[in-house]
A and B are shown apart, each in its own frame.
Chain A
């Protein structure tokens, strides 16, 4: 099924958001290579259409849960780059005051309920958030992003069942990049298309190609609309090919050269730029403008983060309890 074409200005805006995520991730990977960023980072490159296409339908009050690969979800939900980068560097002015880092980055003021470094860890939390929304009757919707690896976790299945029997306003978004670290989904997942599992929980399931922004956008529109109408959960499988490794620095020795080349060929950024150009948009100018703007903001954010104060060591056990 071909998704309807978006108005040109809307697709241009989506392209800007996706390119911002790509530029952020490329920069984070390069800066990580310099060795002064603690921990590790997992790049969202290649999946930009998923976060952007789903979050296009969500407001600040709506809630998302994310994964270890969470920078793209933050940016798509409107989280500010400066405190994000400060958090990657473990600084006092980071979003989580240096307690979380890349894998736990969160901004509750934007409904970003946290990256989660436990595979499928955020799925049930989103179901609970949707339960709160339904109980309070406030019209909020929750979306949960997770990888193909998470579909082998028991809690995901328990959570889909709960969301279904309670008809909760939640959207399950499987970002299927074909790899759970080094283990291929073709080996580890019992079905050729993860979305068929939605039928087992009496919810609509669909598979879309995440190099096609309009396809993701349309699937997300239907799912979020359904949730807002109180008709219950939906499941979207968005397939993409991971650009780069599981983590920044992953040599990907387990992956064939053809597979890696296919990832670059299917790149959503290039594809969207081509679609825009084909419809008469000056995508080259947009690209140049976004690069100029975002690179300047990234320059500022990374310099500011490196210059920011470390958290006070005496506060190492702060924020454990509220009282």
Chain B
């Protein structure tokens, strides 16, 4: 289980989520020449004759400037070939590199489903442990940008359902930096899911800190009446909900489910057991969700000890709609989290 040091690090500086990711990449690339970046638009045209300042540096700018420092052998723009670049990532990892590949949007990952599910995830197992596949697949996830059905998926549950993958979804800049470093250093394939609403958020980051450990919870707020665990952006939504609840006299603890696989189940059980009430929030379709899985596992361990049924808040079981009022209705919201938390208190 994590400690509160995540949010109160000494010598911390204010940094955006995006800059925290870039800092993790820079740190790891300077430390290890085997770390290479691949992806569509990650150099963003740098090195192709256009002025460097005009280069794209990834759809959201996470990798902007890295080409200048590391050059074309370490920062590789790729064609739009999700299957091909993911397969190449797997092979490169098997043959001695530590590639970090940007698939741009998680909604495009199904183009590389075989390479992720059958190749990256199974290679170590099928070979009886002969080989490891130290690779990171970065993807932007989530709704709220009115990006509609084919640019808004989270796929948290889909990746977590694949044995052999580790799945990470940071909620804060400190988590983004510490977990991306940990993912690059890890010997297994890690799917690293960055919610698009988080890139511009900022928070305290200890720029001298080392990697965080995978498999831990983030504790974003202490509380005694109800434990609310959220995935990625949903953890920030839970923080907002906790402020609303506090005004109504309810003390909510907020956890970041930043490591979906491995999952700190013991930590969750300890914390949900201490408050006696548990709500889990995930932006993703309702069926077979991370929320369902976590609720089932916590429920198995705490049946009888909980004071109320576990609450789940997810998106609708529907593709993400385009029209703003439809998308707003589709996604989790602060109000939905507040309602679910109050229901565990016997209110509403």
Contacts and interface: CB of A to CB of B under 8 A. Distances in A.
A26 B34 CA distance: 43
A114 interface: yes
Interface string A228-271: 00000000000000000000000000000000000000000000
Interface in B152-207: 163-164, 166, 186-188
Given A162-B78, A321-B166, A323-B188, A132 B91 contact: yes
Contacts of B81: 158, 161-162
Given A99-B125, A128-B95, A322-B187, A108 B87 contact: no
A158 B92 contact: no
Nearest first, the 8 A-B pairs at minimum CB distance are A124-B87, A128-B91, A158-B84, A97-B128, A132-B95, A125-B91, A96-B128, A128-B88
12 contacts: A94-B128, A100-B126, A106-B131, A114-B123, A121-B87, A124-B87, A125-B91, A132-B97, A142-B95, A158-B81, A162-B85, A165-B79
Contacts of B87: 121, 123-125, 127-128, 155, 158-159
Given A132-B95, A135-B97, A155 B126 contact: no
B161 to A, nearest CB: 13
Given A121-B114, A127-B88, A158-B84, A136 B126 contact: no
Interface of B: 34, 36, 73-74, 76, 78-79, 81, 83-97, 99, 114-115, 118-119, 123-132, 163-164, 166, 186-188, 262
Interface of A: 63, 65, 94-100, 104, 106-109, 113-114, 116, 118, 121, 123-133, 135-136, 138, 140, 142, 154-155, 158-159, 161-162, 165-166, 317-323
Given A124-B91, A125-B91, A318 B129 contact: yes
Contacts of A130: 91
Contact of A118 (B78, B97, B118, B125): B118
Nearest to A94: B128
Contacts of A161: 79, 81, 84
Contact of B91 (A104, A131, A319, A322): A131
A307 B298 CA distance: 45
Nearest to B112: A155
Nearest to B124: A319
Contact of B132 (A100, A124, A159, A322): A322
Contacts of B83: 124, 154-155, 158
Contacts of B86: 124
A127 B85 CA distance: 9
Contacts of A323: 186-188
B92 A320 contact: no
Contacts of B34: 136
Given A100-B127, A100-B128, A106-B126, A155 B84 contact: yes
A132 B74 CA distance: 11
B92 A129 contact: yes
A320 B124 contact: yes
Contact of A108 (B78, B130, B186): B130
Given A98-B128, A155-B115, A322-B124, A129 B84 contact: no
Contacts of A127: 84, 87-88, 91
Nearest to B77: A165
Contacts of B89: 128
Nearest to A127: B88
Count chain B CB atoms within 10 A of each CB in A94, A133, A142, A158 and give the residue with the most: A158
Given A118-B119, A162-B81, A113 B128 contact: no
Contact of B95 (A63, A97, A154, A321): A63
Contacts of A63: 95
A7 B35 CA distance: 45
B205 to A, nearest CB: 25
B183 to A, nearest CB: 13
Contacts of A138: 96
A114 B127 CA distance: 8
A140 B124 CA distance: 22
Nearest to A111: B95
A47 to B, nearest CB: 23
A97 B131 CA distance: 13
Contacts of A136: 34, 96-97
A105 B61 CA distance: 42
Contact of B88 (A106, A107, A154, A159): A159
A118 B126 CA distance: 13
A99 B128 contact: yes
Contacts of B74: 135
Contacts of B76: 166
Nearest to A131: B92
B114 A118 contact: yes
A162 B77 CA distance: 11
Given A121-B119, A154-B83, A131 B97 contact: yes
A124 B90 contact: yes
A94 to B, nearest CB: 7
Contacts of B97: 131-132, 135-136
